[in-house]
A and B are shown apart, each in its own frame.
Chain A
Amino acid sequence: QQQVKQSPQSLIVQKGGISIINCAYENTAFDYFPWYQQFPGKGPALLIAIRPDVSEKKEGRFTISFNKSAKQFSLHIMDSQPGDSATYFCAASYNTDKLIFGTGTRLQVFP
């Protein structure tokens, strides 16, 4: 019940396209859903996060869509750029507790 399932494992997108990464969770007590971006050799960097009281949050080219009834949330990267090539992790937590991470998606954006 603590798992967060992430898909796809890898994603190849052309420059200017839309990248979509999906996550699903089981624990309805989760109240915080962040996305992290990780470049090789670096620690994960917080990208954007959402709480279950809203269905969408947008920051620049990055949007989280949240479906509480389906227990799913997704990251959309609009106008994908080669500099977006990285590994993306979704996560979930409850009441500022530890983060439960998805298994990651390796995104490659080709020019």
Chain B
Amino acid sequence: GAGVSQSPSNKVTEKGKDVELRCDPISGHTALYWYRQSLGQGLEFLIYFQGNSAPDKSGLPSDRFSAERTGGSVSTLTIQRTQQEDSAVYLCASSYPVLDEQYFGPGTRLTVT
């Protein structure tokens, strides 16, 4: 079946602009996670959605970052007033309810110039 998809695959933006990154989880997966991978670094948790529960936003680095999930499926990560340090690969993962296995999408490479 189809895996997790993310769009765009690459995004170049100017400092100060807003960007939106999209994630389509695997059908039937109610849990959705966003992570960030900076160049040569590990993966850093950003935000977690589980069903209709309030999202876990504990990993968002600043109030410029926000995310929403519409209809329990597609999610959008928004970064306002982008900074150069926001340049990274943004990865989305999804999982079935009450199961641990998280499946990742290919990521969106964000470059802030």
Residues of A within 8 A of B (CB): 6, 32, 34, 36, 41-46, 49, 89, 91, 93, 96-104
Instruction: Determine if A49 and B42 form an interchain contact, defined as CB atoms under 8 angstroms apart.
Output: no
Instruction: Determine if B101 and A89 form an interchain contact, defined as CB atoms under 8 angstroms apart.
Output: no
Chain B residue numbers with a CB within 8 Å of A100 are: 45
CA distance A101 to B46 in the complex (A): 12
Given contacts A97-B48, A98-B59, contact A44 B100 (CB under 8 A): no
Q: Which of A49, A96, A102 contacts B31 (CB 8 A)?
A: A96
A-B contact count (CB 8 A): 57
Given contacts A89-B43, A96-B31, A96-B100, contact A43 B105 (CB under 8 A): yes
CA distance A41 to B104 in the complex (A): 13
Instruction: Determine if A44 and B33 form an interchain contact, defined as CB atoms under 8 angstroms apart.
Output: no
CA distance A91 to B33 in the complex (A): 14
Chain B residue numbers with a CB within 8 Å of A44 are: 43, 91, 104
B76 within 8 A of A: no
B25 within 8 A of A: no
23 pairs across A/B with beta carbons < 8 Å?
Answer: A32-B100, A34-B101, A34-B102, A36-B104, A41-B106, A42-B106, A43-B4, A43-B104, A43-B105, A43-B106, A45-B104, A49-B100, A89-B43, A93-B100, A96-B95, A96-B100, A98-B45, A98-B48, A99-B33, A101-B44, A102-B42, A104-B41, A104-B42
* Identity of the chain B residue whose Cβ is nearest the Cβ of A31 in the assembled complex: B100
Chain B residue numbers with a CB within 8 Å of A96 are: 31, 50, 95, 98-100
Question: Contact string, B85-100, partner A, CB cutoff 8 A, digits 1/0?
Answer: 0000001010100111
* Identity of the chain B residue whose Cβ is nearest the Cβ of A94 in the assembled complex: B100
CA distance A101 to B93 in the complex (A): 14
CA distance A93 to B33 in the complex (A): 13
Question: Chain B's nearest CB lies how many Å from the CB of A94?
Answer: 10
Chain A residue numbers with a CB within 8 Å of B98 are: 96
Instruction: Determine if B104 and A98 form an interchain contact, defined as CB atoms under 8 angstroms apart.
Output: no
Instruction: Determine if A103 and B99 form an interchain contact, defined as CB atoms under 8 angstroms apart.
Output: no
